[in-house]
Amino acid sequence: MPTSASIEGRDEPAVIRARGLIKTFGHVAALQGVDLELYGGEVVALLGDNGAGKSTLTKCLCGVYQPDAGELELAGRPVQLRSIRDAEAYGISVVYQDLALAPDLTVLENIFLGHELLRTGLLGRAGALARGEMAQRADAALQALGIDLPSVRIPVSELSGGQRQAVAIARATMWTRAGILMDEPTAALGTRQSDIVANLITATAARGLGVMVISHDLPRVMEIATRVIVLRHGRVVLDTPAQGLSRRDVVDAMVGYAEEVHG
Amino acid sequence: MAEHAVSSRPAAPERGERRAVLQRVAGHPAFWIALIDVALILIFGLLSPNNVFWTLGSFQNLAVDSAEALLLTTGVALLLGAGEFDISQGANVVLSSVIGGKVMLALGSAGTLPAILLGALTCVACGAGMGAVNGIVVTKLGVNSLVATLGTLGIATGAADLITNGSDLAGFPLQLQSAFGSRVVLGVPLPALVALALFGVAWLVLRFTRSGVRILALGSSRESAVRSGLRVDRLLIVLFLLTGALVGVAGFIDISRFGTTNVSGHQTDALASIGAAVIGGASLWGGRVPLLGALFGALLAVILQDGLVVVGLSPFFQLIATGVVLIAAVHLDQQRRQRSGRPGRVRARLRS
Ligand SMILES: Nc1ncnc2c1ncn2[C@@H]1O[C@H](COP(=O)(O)OP(=O)(O)OP(=O)(O)O)[C@@H](O)[C@H]1O
Ligand SMILES: [Mg+2]
């Protein structure tokens, strides 16, 4: 049985609580009954070998996929998510490796896309943007996360990969009330940029949001994680606080030694 | 209008700032097209007999000839910004002018003013309706907009021919031309003023409003628009509808200028409008449409067409030039994208 020592004695309901999630694609059983919780303020590293089911799980948690069976509770309420929009309405957002920013729009426009601030009065009713106010708020949000950009008014296509990832994360933290799921946010980044993103993740959790990160970069993700969940063949084989956990334990769980030892 | 890199760094000394402004102007695609427009006007003026190309009448003629082109170019530029095409524009001009014309003829006995007003309304409504059909086919039926509007091009052309039996409608109230089509206000032809006003509205919307940002988001990254919770289908249908309404206005201008429909014309309208938008700096891959560039691009084609006639050459050279320049512009855009590591998406989109 997976243990969840880190979550005992909490009063707040979990941001995300999944029970017995099952998802199959044809004859591939991608998820075979997954239980997990994500609480506000923690960074959960979701680990596992290629094909273990990490991405499928993330997509089930944010409404991209509908699980074949199992229950999902967000903030203590049972829900059925039919789209990412649904998940966002419950305060859950996703940051993908492939970003999903609009490259031709400015940083500002990307951060506020779908949440634009309008001017007051008649102009606002005509849909006129309050760019000044938006810039101030974006600058403040970026600063709070320690993100340094030349300007929020340049197109995203002119940013580096790390800067784009930072913008995507800033965007997610600005509009998310509960939890952020990240699927390999640093896969395309160099060392320095990965460090920046890692710091961002810590800063995001410190603001009380629950963060779940998928990554194959074990050393780095274990440095920032407060809890580690390992998936293997669509099942949770390890769920434990990160403190005191060795990389060896995690790898053993990923490749299946742990199962053999503990039965 | 495309957002250009406006640095929020501390204010530079004044001279540096002035140079930055100059650089921005020179870096704007509209600037170069405007320059070519001016150069062509100079050249045609010099070559034309007695420099007639430089007379007020000639400029008024240019303006009124540009009215329809500008409306269609504005519409297609907005659609290109959202990553969509419309090649049914010409057929839509014809169909809306035919249906609006029918209404006007039917109401002729009810009085001139109501007939003209209702005829105009019908033209616009018909254009908007065709636009909405395009939008619904693209979003709800999932048909790529190139193919969808190729289909509606056929439907609209066929419908217009059926309604008219292939012969043009005429016999509209004379006031249609005197009060609108050939009316000149403060030296400017009224149809050109109407087109310019609608262009201005489109420019303001694209530049300053939430809808403008969302239109460009649709074209820049459809996926990011979806993930940002935008109602993509609804946005697209409304956009197709409104750009269709612009086409409907062009249809009304068409009958009020000539006092007759032109059912066998307008076959190269889509080439002209897409060409003008792209020459003006719009990207075929969406997300970037400098509307001012599209304005000067639309003027470019009209100047060429009228200028060639004035200097005694065939106006058909203009079509050839537009075709060549369109291909060249898209090729350059493609190369620019590849250099910035963003391969073209047209092929991927055709498959979807
Ligand atoms: N859309 C799909 N259709 C069919 N099979 C799928 C689909 N998505 C995932 N699978 C299968 O489900 C299993 C889990 O895939 P998933 O992408 O969740 O793994 P992952 O843990 O994210 O792997 P990686 O570390 O390589 O990203 C794999 O066997 C995969 O082939
Ligand atoms: Mg994956």
> What is the whole-number distance in angstroms between the Cα of residue A170 and the centre of ligand 2?
22
Mean pLDDT of A226-238: 95
Q: Class for domain A11-255, per CATH? A: alpha beta
What is the pLDDT of chain A when averaged over all its residues?
Answer: 88
More confident residue, A175 or A25: A25
Q: What is the pLDDT of residue B194?
A: 97
The three-state DSSP-derived secondary structure of chain A is: CCCCHHHCCCCCCCCEEEEEEEEEECCEEEEEEEEEEECCCCEEEEEECCCCCHHHHHHHHCCCCCCCEEEEEECCEECCCCCHHHHHHCCEEEECCCCCCCCCCEHHHHHHCCCCCECCHHHHHCCEECHHHHHHHHHHHHHHCCCCCCCCCCEHHHCCHHHHHHHHHHHHHHHCCCEEEEECCCCCCCHHHHHHHHHHHHHHHHCCCEEEEECCCHHHHHHHCCEEEEEECCEEEEEEECCCCCHHHHHHHHHCHHHHHHC
B228: nearest CB among A113, A129, A157: A113
Mean pLDDT of A207-212: 94
Q: What is the pLDDT of residue A262?
A: 53
Ligand 1 binding pocket mutation candidate from A32, A47, A54 (most atoms within 8 A of CB)? A54
Mean pLDDT of A150-170: 88
Q: What is the pLDDT of residue A162?
A: 81
Q: Is B223 on the interface with A (CB under 8 A)?
A: yes
Mean pLDDT lowest among A44-58, B45-59, B244-258, B309-323: B309-323
Q: What is the pLDDT of residue B2?
A: 40
- Cβ separation B8–A153 shorter than 8 A: yes
The structure's pTM equals 0.85
Q: Is B338 on the interface with A (CB under 8 A)?
A: no
Q: What 3-state DSSP class applies to B193?
A: helix
- Cβ separation B340–A118 shorter than 8 A: no
Q: Do the beta carbons of residue B302 and residue B309 sit within 8 Å?
A: no
Mean pLDDT of A61-67: 92
Q: What is the pLDDT of residue B83?
A: 96
Mean pLDDT of A210-239: 94
Does ligand 1 lie within 6 Å of residue A55's CB atom? yes
Using a CB-CB cut-off of 8 Å, the residues of chain B touching A88 are 229
- Cβ separation A94–B225 shorter than 8 A: no
Distance from the A190 Cα atom to the nearest Cα atom in chain B, whole angstroms: 18
Q: What is the pLDDT of residue A260?
A: 57
Q: Is B209 on the interface with A (CB under 8 A)?
A: yes
Does ligand 1 lie within 6 Å of residue A246's CB atom? no
More confident residue, B187 or A7: B187
Structure-block tokens of residue B267: 């076959």
Structure-block tokens of residue B334: 């493609």
pLDDT for A88-141, tens place per residue? Answer: 889 998 887 666 799 999 999 999 999 999 999 999 999 999 999 999 999 998
Closest residue in B to A103 (Cα) is B220
Distance from the A151 Cα atom to the nearest Cα atom in chain B, whole angstroms: 6
Give the integer Cα–Cα distance in Å for A214 and A219.
13
> What is the whole-number distance in angstroms between the Cα of residue A30 and the centre of ligand 1?
6
> What is the whole-number distance in angstroms between the Cα of residue A183 and the centre of ligand 2?
7
Does B305 score more than 80 pLDDT? yes
ipTM over 0.90 threshold: no
Ligand closest to A34 (CA) is: 1
Distance from the A225 Cα atom to the nearest Cα atom in chain B, whole angstroms: 26
Mean pLDDT of B237-242: 98
pLDDT for B117-171, tens place per residue? Answer: 999 999 999 999 999 999 999 999 999 999 999 999 999 999 999 999 989 999 9
Return the residue whose CA atom lies nearest to atom 29 of ligand 1. Answer: A51
Q: What is the pLDDT of residue A190?
A: 79
pLDDT for B1-19, tens place per residue? Answer: 343 443 344 444 456 677 7
Return the residue whose CA atom lies nearest to atom 2 of ligand 1. Answer: A25
More confident residue, A42 or B227: A42
Using a CB-CB cut-off of 8 Å, the residues of chain B touching A152 are 8
Structure-block tokens of residue A108: 């500002």
Q: What is the pLDDT of residue B339?
A: 76
How does residue B204 score in pLDDT terms, banded at 50, 70 and 90? Answer: very high
Using a CB-CB cut-off of 8 Å, the residues of chain B touching A105 are 3, 213, 216-217, 220, 287
Give the integer Cα–Cα distance in Å for B139 and B145.
9
A100: nearest CB among B7, B219, B227: B227
Mean pLDDT of A71-78: 93
Distance from the B5 Cα atom to the nearest Cα atom in chain A, whole angstroms: 5
Q: Is B8 on the interface with A (CB under 8 A)?
A: yes
CB atoms within 10 A of CB A66: 13
Determine which of A83, A93, A98, A105 to mutate to test the interface with B (most B C-beta atoms within 10 Å): A105
Q: Do the beta carbons of residue B1 and residue B207 sit within 8 Å?
A: yes
Using a CB-CB cut-off of 8 Å, the residues of chain B touching A97 are none
CATH of domain B32-334: 1.10.3470
Q: Is B205 on the interface with A (CB under 8 A)?
A: yes
What is the pLDDT of chain B when averaged over all its residues?
Answer: 89
- Cβ separation A104–B5 shorter than 8 A: no
CA B270 from chain center: how many Å? 9
Mean pLDDT lowest among A14-23, A169-178, B181-190: A169-178
Radius of gyration of chain A (CA): 19
Give the integer Cα–Cα distance in Å for A238 and A250.
8
Distance from the B341 Cα atom to the nearest Cα atom in chain A, whole angstroms: 10
Structure-block tokens of residue A136: 């101030």
- Cβ separation A104–B226 shorter than 8 A: no
Domain ranges of chain A: 11-255
Mean pLDDT lowest among A42-56, B133-147, B239-253, B337-351: B337-351
Domain ranges of chain B: 32-334
Using a CB-CB cut-off of 8 Å, the residues of chain A touching B224 are 99-102, 110, 113
Q: What is the pLDDT of residue A83?
A: 85
> What is the whole-number distance in angstroms between the Cα of residue A50 and the centre of ligand 2?
7
Percent of chain A with pLDDT over 90: 60
Q: What is the pLDDT of residue B343?
A: 57
pLDDT for B68-81, tens place per residue? Answer: 999 999 999 999 99
> Count of CB contacts below 8 A, A vs B?
92
B220: nearest CB among A105, A114, A153: A105
pLDDT for B217-226, tens place per residue? Answer: 999 999 889 8
Q: What 3-state DSSP class applies to B261?
A: coil
Does ligand 1 lie within 6 Å of residue A56's CB atom? yes
CA B281 from chain center: how many Å? 14
- Of the candidates B108, B95, B69, the one whose C-alpha atom is nearest the C-alpha of residue B262 is B95
Does B266 score more than 50 pLDDT? yes
Q: What is the pLDDT of residue A2?
A: 42
Q: What is the pLDDT of residue A9?
A: 53
Q: What is the pLDDT of residue B213?
A: 97
Ligand 1 binding pocket mutation candidate from A25, A57, A60, A212 (most atoms within 8 A of CB)? A25
Buried b (16+ CB within 10 A) or exposed e, B139-167: beeebbbbebbbbbbeebbebbbebbeee
Residue B18 is inside which H or E element, if any?
helix B14-27
How does residue B20 score in pLDDT terms, banded at 50, 70 and 90? Answer: confident
Does A233 score more than 70 pLDDT? yes
Q: What is the pLDDT of residue A73?
A: 94
Q: Is B9 on the interface with A (CB under 8 A)?
A: yes
Does B351 score more than 70 pLDDT? no
Give the integer Cα–Cα distance in Å for B90 and B319.
15
Radius of gyration of chain B (CA): 21
